[in-house]
Chains A and B, each alone.
Chain A
């Protein structure tokens, strides 16, 4: 699971109102090189929940010097874009789980695939 995907995933357990962002508990993380496309990154940033990305990076110990808030003129800052690219696309959670912040329900991640299926009574 890449952090870009995590940024869009939310808990949908019945009755939960604050199911985002999901907490990440990773037991295995891998790096997977992906070609850098600055236009992709700079256009993606406005679509992200920035604080959720920072939180996820923190949880994985991958934050490095990522700012808590977006810097102005980031579109032209290639260094910054490369850091964001790495976090969004190259860090992969292979094993672990995602946890609903409100209900505590855990969704397992195995082989890089989060299993978000709910049981009958949770849906």
Chain B
């Protein structure tokens, strides 16, 4: 049984060092660059999941803060349990029943310790509610109180597993009882939600059904309050074919747009920008061009994370270059406020990329997000745009060592065009 008490934050430093598995969601296609970053900054080997866009790696709690230094990850979670080859039951009823039973059998303790520890790294959010006296009651009483809400067959299971749990964790129970006696007026009501992601065509249930039933069992087990929007704990139930992972989220909102205060219609996630930059391996003094920069997300991420190169952001659209400059100023101001040297190695120019006002062979790397033709431009425009802009980009690139990393969704147009240019 796991209570939260008001001494939560102090507990974090007295705990033993434990080892857990961390899961991270990353932009699809960039799993390998993210694993590289993990190896570089945390020093461990990451495993790439069959479920695209996910990597897993081990960490000890004394190094936990390092996960927040990673720039390629969108979201982080701590793994409670992983099943490589979960055998789902035939019927929906049986499957969902099994998921409910799972809630009380999972090894929550370590993951919850990590969740607690992780909270101390983040700014504290406002809404701590005090004094709900019922939280001080021992578990079995609370379970009994909810009989009316649950099906008859659940009750024997709920209480028997509760008893088991209490036996296993007697030391915890003792201290909790003491806490609850002293601290009952200040006990904190934990709010949670379950988020289920399900992929695969052989499941008999939907993600909503799984989240609902699993969540109901979690609620009953911990006596937390379910709240879909203002929650302290987000429990993740990820089901990808026969791979099932239960986790607890360590990030509140996605780390997507960390640098950008002025959005445009197609602003690229910072994590995706970082992945692209890592791919092109910027070297000191590299001149790096983004000739279709939009709001400047890619060069700005580069100027911050790979700051021994120089970035030139260009676009033909006046709103785009203005937003880029606004985003740069915003970051520089933030740095100045922290007392750091604020200037960034980046510049912005308004130009037409089909006729770049740049010296031939002056650029080391071109990195850009090509217009997809859906939200911006059109397929036909891409057809006309791609040959001339590719020619210009080839011209300004340094022969021999120059490289380009281009993000495009319009594969057909792109491959046809590269044949023409050659």
Chain A residues near B (Cβ < 8 Å): 1-2, 4-5, 8-12, 20, 32-35, 37, 39-41, 43-44, 47, 49, 89-90, 111-118, 123
Contacts and interface: CB of A to CB of B under 8 A. Distances in A.
Contacts of A111: 322, 325
B352 A114 contact: no
A117 B321 CA distance: 13
Interface in B297-350: 307-308, 310, 312, 316, 321-322, 325, 332, 341-345, 347-350
Q: What range describes how many residues of B lie at the interface?
A: 20 to 34
A90 B343 contact: yes
Interface of B: 284-285, 287, 307-308, 310, 312, 316, 321-322, 325, 332, 341-345, 347-352, 355-359, 362-363
27 contacts: A1-B347, A2-B347, A4-B347, A5-B312, A5-B347, A8-B312, A8-B362, A8-B363, A9-B357, A9-B359, A32-B342, A32-B343, A33-B343, A34-B343, A34-B344, A34-B345, A40-B284, A43-B284, A43-B285, A44-B285, A47-B287, A47-B362, A89-B343, A112-B347, A113-B325, A115-B350, A118-B352
Given A39-B285, A114-B350, A117-B316, A123 B355 contact: yes
A10 B343 contact: no
Contacts of A4: 310, 347
Given A33-B342, A37-B308, A116-B351, 16 more contacts: A4-B310, A4-B347, A9-B349, A10-B359, A12-B357, A32-B332, A33-B341, A34-B344, A34-B345, A39-B285, A40-B308, A47-B362, A49-B359, A89-B343, A113-B325, A118-B355
Nearest to A35: B341
A10 B358 contact: yes
B308 A39 contact: yes
B341 A34 contact: yes
Contacts of A114: 349-350
Contacts of B316: 117
Contacts of B348: 112-113
B349 to A, nearest CB: 5
A5 B345 CA distance: 10
Contacts of B350: 113-117
A123 B312 CA distance: 22
A35 B357 contact: no
Q: Which residue, of B321, B341, B357, has the highest number of chain A Cβ atoms within 10 A?
A: B357
A116 B175 CA distance: 71
A33 B357 CA distance: 27
A10 B357 CA distance: 5
A3 to B, nearest CB: 10
